[in-house]
Amino acid sequence: MDYNALIEEYWPLLTAGLLKLGAAILVLIATALAARLARRGVRRLSNKLDETLIPVLSNIAVWAVYAVGLLIILDMFGVNTTSLIALLGAAGLAIGLALKDTLQNIAAGFILLGLRPFRVGEAIQFGDTMGIVRQVGLFTTELDTFDGLRVSAPNSAIWGQTLTNFSRNATRRIEIVASIAYGDDIETGMGVLRRLVAEDERILTDPEPAYAVRALADSSVNLHLRVWTANVEYWDVYWDLMKKLKPALEAEGLTIPFPQRELHIINQMAEQRREQALQE
């Protein structure tokens, strides 16, 4: 076997293959660097973009750069990228039908990012889940619950339910019910509520606080207080009002009654004897 002849025959092909392999490696390295730059570029826009959009946009930018790099490498090796794209489109349709739920999550993710019913850092509730949004992805949304757990919820599950955003509005209303005894004076109880409101500067004057008799319950007269405060101070104001309410009522001689029931016990034998005595 003439090895020299073989080398001379296949050397151009080998050389061309090695050059293409080296070029492909260079393209791959360049693609990785470009993807990293794209991710950094998106993150540098954090002061101009909503923080909720940054993770998704950075991932899309990285995937787009790698897709372009892959097409360049395939084209270098003579692969018909046009046919490949058509083939991938047909395969994508079949995969899409098989992964219908996953695609629903992606569609819901884009809807959430577009409409933005919540942002990173806001407190929300959907169904029985409540927490602070940490990240919105294409497939799932991550939240931290108020007891320190990390929850990853499918985007379609969030979009398909009624969503409550506790952080979006600047102000929030506090409602408190104060129960006093039927023998207590209602105006005295109202005065206690007004004094508590006047002593707390965090309570807003617009909208004005509302005072009313909510109900004449079985064992008490229920006084109703409605006040508004800044959203970020809601729980502090609520807890302070509840803490001060009981001693303030007691200082005015008012009482918070326990549930009461009147029981009338009738001795049947004694009642029969009384009726017989009356008949005689």
CATH number at residue 34: 1.10.287
Q: Which residues contact 187 (CB under 8 A, 6 or more apart)?
A: none
Residue 260: inside a domain: no
Report the DSSP beta bridge partners of residue 166: none
38 and 62 co-located in one domain: yes
The per-residue pLDDT for 75 is 72
Closest C-alpha among 205, 201, 191 to residue 240: 201
180 and 146 co-located in one domain: no
Residue 88: inside a domain: yes
Q: Which residues contact 164 (CB under 8 A, 6 or more apart)?
A: 124, 125, 126
Q: Which residues contact 106 (CB under 8 A, 6 or more apart)?
A: 138, 139, 155
67 and 33 co-located in one domain: yes
Residue 259: inside a domain: no
Instruction: Name the token pair of 177.
Output: 């019910």
Question: Of 111, 141, 165, which closes a domain?
Answer: 165
Angstrom CA distances, 141 to 38, 57, 60, stand at 23, 15, 16
Instruction: Name the token pair of 111.
Output: 């809807």
Report the DSSP beta bridge partners of residue 228: 173
Residue 68: inside a domain: yes
Report the DSSP beta bridge partners of residue 227: 174
Question: Of 165, 198, 224, which closes a domain?
Answer: 165
Residue 222: inside a domain: yes
Residue 108: inside a domain: no
DSSP-derived secondary structure letter, 266 = -
Q: What is the pLDDT along the chain (280 residues), one digit of tens a residue?
A: 555 655 566 556 667 667 777 777 887 888 888 888 777 777 676 565 556 666 767 777 777 777 777 777 777 766 666 666 666 666 555 555 545 567 788 888 888 888 889 988 999 999 889 999 998 887 889 999 999 999 999 998 898 889 999 999 999 999 999 999 999 999 999 999 999 999 999 999 999 999 999 999 888 999 999 999 999 999 999 999 999 999 999 999 998 887 766 666 656 666 666 777 667 6
143 and 218 co-located in one domain: no
CA distance 111 to 107: 6
Look at the block and give the residue holding tokens 């990240």.
135
Q: How many residues does the chain have?
A: 280
Q: Read off the amino acid at residue 269.
A: M
94 and 8 co-located in one domain: yes
Domain range spanning residue 150?
Answer: 119-165
DSSP-derived secondary structure letter, 168 = S
CATH number of 240's domain: 3.30.70.100
CATH number of 161's domain: 2.30.30.60
The per-residue pLDDT for 203 is 95
16 and 69 co-located in one domain: yes
Question: Of 42, 65, 98, which closes a domain?
Answer: 98
DSSP for 239-261, written as a single string:
HHHHHHHHHHHHHTT---PPP--
CA angle 39, 42, 46 (to 5 degrees): 130
Q: Which residues contact 100 (CB under 8 A, 6 or more apart)?
A: none
242 and 175 co-located in one domain: yes
- Coil vs helix vs strand at 79: coil
- Contact criterion met (CB below 8 Å) for 148 and 191: no
Q: Read off the amino acid at residue 136.
A: V
| Residue 35 CB neighbour total at 10 angstroms | 19
157 and 182 co-located in one domain: no
Element holding 189 (H helix, E strand): helix 186-199
Residue 39: inside a domain: yes
CA distance 162 to 127: 7
Residue 247: inside a domain: yes
Task: Provide the domain count of the chain.
Answer: 3
pTM exceeding 0.85: no
183 and 242 co-located in one domain: yes
DSSP for 205-229, written as a single string:
SSSPPEEEEEEE-SS-EEEEEEEEE
